[in-house]
A and B are shown apart, each in its own frame.
Chain A
Amino acid sequence: MNSKEYLHIFLDETREHLSGMQHWLGVLTENPEDRQGFDALFRSVHSIKGMAASMGFRHLASMAHAMEDGLDRLRRTGRMPAEALERLYTGIDVLEKGISAIAAGRPDPPEDLDDGVDDASPERSRHLRITMQGAEPSRWLLLVNELMRLGTLQKCRPDPEKIAEGILPEVLEAELVSSIALQEITDRCRGIFEGTAVEDVASEEAVATSSAQDLSVRHGVGQSTVRIPTSLLDRFVGLTGELLTARHRLQESLQKRQEDDIEASCRHLDRLLGDLRYQVLDARMVPLEAVTATLPGLVREMCRKTGKKIRLKLVGTEVRLDRAILEALSEPLVHMVRNAVDHGIEERGTITITARRDRDRVTLDVEDDGRGLDREHLVERARQEGLCTAGPSDAITDAEILNLICRPGFSTASCLTETSGRGIGMDVVRHTVDKLGGTLQILGDRERGTRFRFILPLTVSIVPVLLVKAGGQVVAVPTMWIEQTHDLPDAHWEAVGTGQTVRLGARELPVYVLSELLGCPDGFRRKSSTILCELRGGHGALAVDAVSGHQDVFVKPLSFPLNGIQGLSGATILGDGRIIFLLDPFSLLLNRKPRAFKGDVL
């Protein structure tokens, strides 16, 4: 029963229940009499209890049982008092730790995880290493016998039968579930042989593994498995059948050389492939709550440390996104919430995370009702660093403020105390969002507080790109990096220092020749006009030889050694079999022109 296969299902389902319980506790915090919340919590904890018991995790089952009892009493009263809520949160933490321990390969959580459960059984599982130097086979067998009397001997290495055959171990490893203290076990073993040494390695391992496993539970989407409804698998089977039929039809049409039929079959195949693509991508989608589920715990923990009273409100977290996006989003979200708790809200307030799907995009707002960004200080600091010229601070746009706080290293220690200190990790946040093909904005439409908006694509596997020619090569530039393209007469070029700029209306943009950036300095030939791809954020423009098309491509991740080449972000195979590389213009510029961004922020 304890096979790996079942264990995975058990761990996945339990984590799902725990994340659901976090959600319902949030609901009950808002409305302590929410009947649905009581029922859902009860169902989840009851399921965990049943699953844990059937898997043989008696400790976990007894913890869940204790919570179930408590919940049943509360359900009868019909009201959730604040202290009970706190206790249930602690209970969930304990269960999460238990799950982490099991995922780490421990048969049952150690004793110290029992905090928060009233009537947990005192029995615990021990991993014993026993040595008896110079003992005869009979002593070893007596020892095994004694262990069986002390509790349930779940595993014994080597097998007692081997010992009976005269193969003596240096160390006997035993997994013993027992309520007897280690000292008592040692004494009883010494009664059999004087020089017996007993060591319980389970507790040490638990300490060593718990921190690592905490992470895997927190970042649940980091697992390599996705649960797929059977209905979706049925659709895959159906589609496969349809594809086979379509292929036969196409083959027949080809044999008969009926052009109309060939064309119709190709159209049909195209439709089926589109359908398949949509379904496969859908299978990779995971609800946002997979990453937001741990945030209430984080906020509670931080409130406990700082003494602040902060409420976290999660709205619309059932929105589904590509697993890869969620994995990347996990850390930025934690950053944002930490920043809001640390620096945004002074004493008491609310952090709200709102998600909504808008066609092929997801909008995620992270807002707090704290003191907001101190624009005066930010602008003053920017002036000190020479990043902007003199002028009234209210003339600065939200986008410029965002550029400022997302500058690496802008949020120094002094800035942290003088302003709201939102610079911590914001460069990382923005970079992650950029890499995902999304955008980050600050919305300044509020009197108080701060609102950051993430606009994210649903998937990263299919990316719209602009195919451009540079130095004899065709490369793909994802359109998310491009503001617009310009076809400019030669006269607009100006040499500034060693670089070149181009005048676009009132603006002057630095121009980088793409073929030079790609290592073909002789590739670029000045013509009567030049195609420029203006990069987003006003950083500059890429001069290319020609634009050869625009299409949505399926991105293949790069393997060694391609993944070590700075400036390349993926590869794709076009319909004609050509392999084209996707460029990341910003890392390309950083690679070639380390000073490209200096001073061009404001």
Chain B
Amino acid sequence: MSRFLLVTSGRSLFGLDLKAVCEVIKEPLLHDVPLAPPGLMGVVNVHDMVVPVIDFARLCGAADGAGRQMVVLESPRLALAVTAVHGLCSPSFRMPGGLIRPWVCETFICNRGVAGLIDVTVLQQTLQQHLLSPDAASMHGFDG
């Protein structure tokens, strides 16, 4: 049976496939990136690797997320700043497709409520399309 890592960003619940997650870091030291686009919070030093931190709340459409917990993804090597990491969960009811966000590939029910399963590949594509685009500054997140 699959188990997901359950996280909260703002008020929304999300699940991440364990295979896509490298590690979780609590409040690491965030370093500034010159000329960083709005969705890029900075970088963190993870075992001597420079890992960019994505403002996940902003990606979800919130004005200011500033999550202090980081979920480091396996590939691409990115960290998602989230509000809270709840640990592992077993989804009890799964439905394909997300409602609004293209990078949510499944909706499932867990003990904390209804959550969206993140498709890391689509998430990366969304970031590639929107994060560095010239209109990134004006947009509220990247919810295309």
Residues of chain A whose beta carbon lies under 8 Å from any beta carbon of chain B: 473, 475, 518-519, 556, 558-562, 564-568, 571, 573, 577-579, 581, 583
Nearest A residue to B43, CB-CB: A579
Nearest A residue to B36, CB-CB: A565
Partner of B52, one of A559, A566, A577, A578: A559
Do the beta carbons of B127 and A562 come within 8 Å of each other?
no
Contacts across chains A and B counted by CB atoms under 8 Å: 61
Instruction: Given A559-B76, A561-B52, answer yes or no on A573-B45 (Cβ-Cβ < 8 Å).
Output: yes
Instruction: Given A518-B34, A567-B35, A581-B34, answer yes or no on A562-B48 (Cβ-Cβ < 8 Å).
Output: no
Do the beta carbons of B76 and A519 come within 8 Å of each other?
no
Between B34, B35, B36, B131, the greatest number of chain A beta carbons within 10 A of the residue's beta carbon is seen for B34
Q: List 5 A-B contacts (CB under 8 A).
A: A561-B52, A564-B132, A578-B31, A579-B50, A581-B33
Tell me which residues across on chain A come within 8 A of B32, comparing CB atoms.
473
Question: With the chains together, A519 CA to B137 CA distance in Å?
Answer: 13
The 7 closest A-B pairs by CB, nearest first: A579-B31, A564-B132, A518-B34, A571-B50, A561-B131, A565-B35, A579-B43
Do the beta carbons of A561 and B40 come within 8 Å of each other?
yes
Partner of B50, one of A567, A573, A583: A573
Question: With the chains together, A568 CA to B78 CA distance in Å?
Answer: 18
Question: With the chains together, A568 CA to B35 CA distance in Å?
Answer: 9
Question: With the chains together, A577 CA to B132 CA distance in Å?
Answer: 27
Instruction: Given A561-B52, A562-B43, answer yes or no on A583-B34 (Cβ-Cβ < 8 Å).
Output: yes
Count contacts on B: residues with CB < 8 A to the other chain.
24
Question: With the chains together, A105 CA to B47 CA distance in Å?
Answer: 38
Question: With the chains together, A518 CA to B50 CA distance in Å?
Answer: 20
Tell me which residues across on chain B come within 8 A of A562, comparing CB atoms.
33, 43, 50, 52
Please tell me if B65 contacts chain A, counting CB pairs below 8 Å.
no
Question: With the chains together, A573 CA to B45 CA distance in Å?
Answer: 8
Do the beta carbons of B76 and A577 come within 8 Å of each other?
no
Partner of A561, one of B31, B34, B48, B132: B132
Tell me which residues across on chain A come within 8 A of B94, comparing CB atoms.
none
Question: With the chains together, A271 CA to B60 CA distance in Å?
Answer: 50
Tell me which residues from 11 to 42 in chain B have a Cβ below 8 Å from any Cβ of chain A.
Answer: 29, 31-37, 40
**Measured between C-beta atoms, what is the minimum distance from A368 to chain B in Å?**
43
Do the beta carbons of A577 and B35 come within 8 Å of each other?
no
Do the beta carbons of B50 and A556 come within 8 Å of each other?
yes
Do the beta carbons of A561 and B127 come within 8 Å of each other?
yes
Tell me which residues across on chain A come within 8 A of B34, comparing CB atoms.
473, 475, 518-519, 565, 567-568, 581, 583
Instruction: Given A578-B31, A579-B31, answer yes or no on A565-B43 (Cβ-Cβ < 8 Å).
Output: no
Nearest A residue to B54, CB-CB: A561
